[in-house]
């Protein structure tokens, strides 16, 4: 949440729909709630940064107009040389992003595009 609070820009808002334990939408108790795309992007960048040898660069969040709980994530990252096979590291990044979105925001990523745009040396 520190990363979300540090993000000062509001930008476009995404509706948050409360869900039950199965992920099915439920009726809001206190009225409609939304979250900014920038706040969601901050959660995604933080999740990517938790992977050893990865630094998040840019992140774009695209909402599906037909399903407000489904997002497309387009992200660029830098990777440390020697962090491991690129495919395995990117799969870990995708998994962390999916977990963070479900657990912290209550939405799911239908597509997570991760581009490695930079490599930095070990040590």
pLDDT in tens, 56-108: 999 999 988 888 778 999 999 999 999 999 999 999 999 999 999 988 888 88
Q: What is the DSSP letter of 16?
A: E
| CATH classification at residue 96 | 3.30.70.1350
Hunting for tokens 């407000």 — which residue is that?
68
Q: How many domains does the chain have?
A: 1
Tens digit of each residue's pLDDT (9 = 90 or more) over 106-115: 888 999 999 9
The model's pTM: 0.77
Whether the CB-CB separation of 106 and 22 falls below 8 Å is answered with: no
59 is in which domain, residue-wise? 2-120
């Amino acid at each position: 949440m520190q990363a979300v609070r540090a993000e000062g820009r509001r930008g476009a808002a995404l509706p948050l729909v409360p869900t039950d334990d199965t992920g099915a939408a439920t009726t809001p108790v206190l009225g409609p709630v939304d979250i900014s795309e920038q706040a969601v992007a901050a959660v995604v960048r933080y999740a990517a940064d938790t992977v050893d040898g990865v630094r998040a660069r840019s992140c774009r969040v695209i909402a599906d107009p037909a399903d407000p709980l489904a997002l497309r994530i387009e992200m660029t990252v830098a990777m440390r040389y020697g962090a491991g096979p690129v495919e395995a590291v990117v799969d870990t990044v995708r998994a962390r992003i999916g977990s963070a979105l479900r657990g912290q925001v209550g939405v799911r990523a239908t597509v997570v595009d991760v581009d490695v745009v930079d490599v930095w040396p070990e040590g």
